[in-house]
Amino acid sequence: MSDVGYSTEYEIYLTQENGVQIVTNDLSLTILREMRYHEISPTDIAMELNLSKSTVQASITKLLRMGIVAQEACVNDARSVVYHISATLLFCSDTDIEWQIYARMASTIRILKSGRCTSREDLALYGVSLTESGLNIVQGLFNVGAALTATETGKEYWRNMLETIESQCVSQGIRCQFRMENGIELDFESPDENISDITMVVVPMLGAMISHSRQLMGKNLTHDISLSVNRNGRSVKMRVDPYIGQDFEEKMTVSNNIDHYRIDEPFSIYSINGKSTLFTNATMMGILYNLSNADCSVNDLEKLMGISKATIYVSIMKLVEMGAIEIDKNSGSPKNYRLVADPILYCTEPEAKDCKRLHKIMEKFQSGEMDYYSAVISFSMEAFRCMGIHFDKMFIRSGKSTAHCVLELCPDMEPQHLMDVACSMVSTPDTAEIITLLPIKVRVTLAKDTLWETWPGDFVKGFVQEGLRELTGDNYRITIETIREGDDRPLKLTNNY
């Protein structure tokens, strides 16, 4: 981990024995990125990077101790060993966001056309917002797909899955081609519809197939994907190449032990100018967290955090320099500080006491009780609950970005219509309704079997706040009340002034 408590280059892994581990060292990151594509020997990587073998071996040894890397005897030379990644990559800072411009538009057009968001659009909209923030979740989605199909065996299952994908595409007028000869290739073509949000849907399926590639194709595949979106989103091409080097047994298991998901070093991630930045410094994280709730002075932060002004001030100056926060010049004395960075995630003590819900989601998906989109979302959210990772603060940003997309499509939309569209952005079985227009109050009702917690309300808040500001130039007072079906008391009440 970085000594200064923050880093713009990182990878975060879930290991089998050591819980969640963070890598920020440049050499270690380079080695791990190479390992996605081919086996590594210290001699080869040292020659490739023009470094000493001892330097490379030291980094690999540390990755072994962390539980991120495993070693295998070299089949060509019994005196040597080769290394590969044995942990699950959750997030990393290495991302390509070109396709997201089309993907959000595709989901938004579909919602406006049908009048209601579904779990498919949820998966795409929230995934796009994370990617747009500079957080790479492709590897994480790969591994969700692998976990959901971990117990599946036999080629018949995969043939059925591909036939299901093809039939669903055909029913929507999408031509699809699958090739599994030298790797996996998937081509999707639509004559007139933007289908680029299909990427978020297909990535977990690819992850499932990669984890079973030895069974399906007799060889391991790389843990990365090449993606191209053409013809304004009407053509999507995806490819996964063969892994170079000797085969190894890839095991995807979902642990029954909650300690497997522990985070020994808490962290948070914020997007600064579209670049995700990982923080581990406790003072910085405390400042950012409190400013995400309200503007604060140093005096306010001292009361909230219980540490000295001097310690807080040093971190504030660094955060200002980084562009994460700014001084409110109209706040008088003492000066207030305002959060500029967009919150992505933060850690707390896990609420989950066991992993039973993870296995129940797997069972429901494999038995057909839960659809694919819902299973991917549910499994991801439950795994994060086990780790104590929260994404709730980023959903306001997601709502704002989607509002911009809607108004790009419908620039002359009336404010009343915008409010109606905001309610349609809440996916079934949850609902949203306008209670009053002035002052604006929206009630979001979460169904008993909802996939989400209180996050749909945050999405609506961001959507309404940004949409009305764009249409009228005014910042309206907005109240979002989130309740659960059958309950009288709100789960969450958020206000905007």
What's phi and psi for 348, nearest 5 deg? -140, 180
Residue 3, pLDDT above cutoff 60: no
pLDDT of residue 24: 94
How many structural domains comprise the chain? Answer: 3
Residue 476, pLDDT above cutoff 80: yes
State the average pLDDT over residues 473-495.
83
Distance CA 86, CA 70 (A): 6
Residue 463 shares a structural domain with residue 411: yes
State the average pLDDT over residues 441-467.
88
The answer to whether the CB of 9 falls within 8 A of the CB of 24 is yes
Residue 398 shares a structural domain with residue 490: yes
Half-sphere exposure in the Cβ direction for 38 (13 Å, CA): 7
Residue 329 shares a structural domain with residue 413: no
pLDDT of residue 494: 66
pLDDT of residue 102: 72
Quickly state the pLDDT bin for 262 (edges 50, 70, 90).
very high
Please provide the average confidence, as pLDDT, over all residues in the chain: 87
pLDDT of residue 398: 87
Which of 74, 92, 110 is where one domain is finished? Answer: 92
What's phi and psi for 206, nearest 5 deg? -60, -40
Q: Is residue 80 part of a domain?
A: yes
Between 248-252, 293-297, 460-464, the lowest mean confidence (pLDDT) is in 248-252
pLDDT tens figures, 421-433: 999 999 888 999 9
Q: Is residue 295 part of a domain?
A: yes
Q: Is residue 212 part of a domain?
A: no
Residue 490 shares a structural domain with residue 413: yes
The answer to whether the CB of 220 falls within 8 A of the CB of 159 is no
CATH number of the domain to which 326 belongs: 1.10.10.10
SS3 at position 32: helix
pLDDT tens figures, 121-150: 887 888 888 887 888 888 888 888 888 888
Residue 307, pLDDT above cutoff 60: yes
Over pLDDT 90: what percentage of the chain? 41
Which of 57, 76, 92 is where one domain is finished? Answer: 92
Residue 331 shares a structural domain with residue 403: no
Place of tokens 């790797």: 183
pLDDT of residue 497: 44
Q: Is residue 308 part of a domain?
A: yes
Residue 402 shares a structural domain with residue 464: yes
From the number of C-beta atoms within 10 Å of its C-beta (0-12, 13-18, 19+), residue 152 rates as: middle
* C-alpha torsion sign, points 116, 450, 394, 304: positive
Between 387-396, 466-475, 488-497, the lowest mean confidence (pLDDT) is in 488-497
Between 241-250, 261-270, 342-351, 487-496, the lowest mean confidence (pLDDT) is in 487-496
pLDDT of residue 221: 87
Residue 247, pLDDT above cutoff 90: no
Bond before 456 cis per omega within 30 degrees: no
Q: Going by C-beta distance under 8 Å and a sequence separation of 6 or more, which residues neighbour residue 95?
A: 131, 134, 135, 136, 138, 276
What 8-state DSSP symbol labels residue 16?
S
Distance CA 474, CA 451 (A): 33
State the average pLDDT over residues 316-339.
91
**Residue bearing the bigger pLDDT, 58 or 455:** 58
State the average pLDDT over residues 47-58.
90
pLDDT of residue 130: 81
Distance CA 131, CA 316 (A): 27
Which of 34, 58, 92 is where one domain is finished? Answer: 92
Long-range contacts of 323-328 (CB under 8 A, 24+ apart): 323/272, 323/273, 324/270, 324/272, 324/277, 324/288, 325/287, 325/288, 325/291, 328/295
**Residue bearing the bigger pLDDT, 316 or 373:** 316
The answer to whether the CB of 450 falls within 8 A of the CB of 376 is no
Residue 482 shares a structural domain with residue 395: yes
pLDDT of residue 96: 62
Residue 419 shares a structural domain with residue 335: no
The answer to whether the CB of 88 falls within 8 A of the CB of 254 is no
pLDDT of residue 2: 40
Q: Is residue 214 part of a domain?
A: no
State the average pLDDT over residues 230-249.
84
State the average pLDDT over residues 77-91.
82
Residue 481 shares a structural domain with residue 419: yes
Quickly state the pLDDT bin for 313 (edges 50, 70, 90).
very high
Q: Which domain holds residue 38?
A: 6-92
Distance CA 214, CA 84 (A): 16
Q: Is residue 51 part of a domain?
A: yes
Q: Which residues of 168-187 are buried (b: 16+ CB within 10 A; e: fewer)?
A: ebeeeebebeeebeebbbbe
pLDDT of residue 1: 38
Residue 339 shares a structural domain with residue 412: no
Q: Is residue 185 part of a domain?
A: no
* C-alpha torsion sign, points 369, 378, 133, 15: negative
Over pLDDT 70: what percentage of the chain? 95
Strand residues in 31-113 grouped as ranges (E): 69-73, 81-85, 88-92
Quickly state the pLDDT bin for 333 (edges 50, 70, 90).
confident
The answer to whether the CB of 203 falls within 8 A of the CB of 225 is yes
Residue 397 shares a structural domain with residue 343: no
Q: Is residue 472 part of a domain?
A: yes
Residue 395 shares a structural domain with residue 481: yes
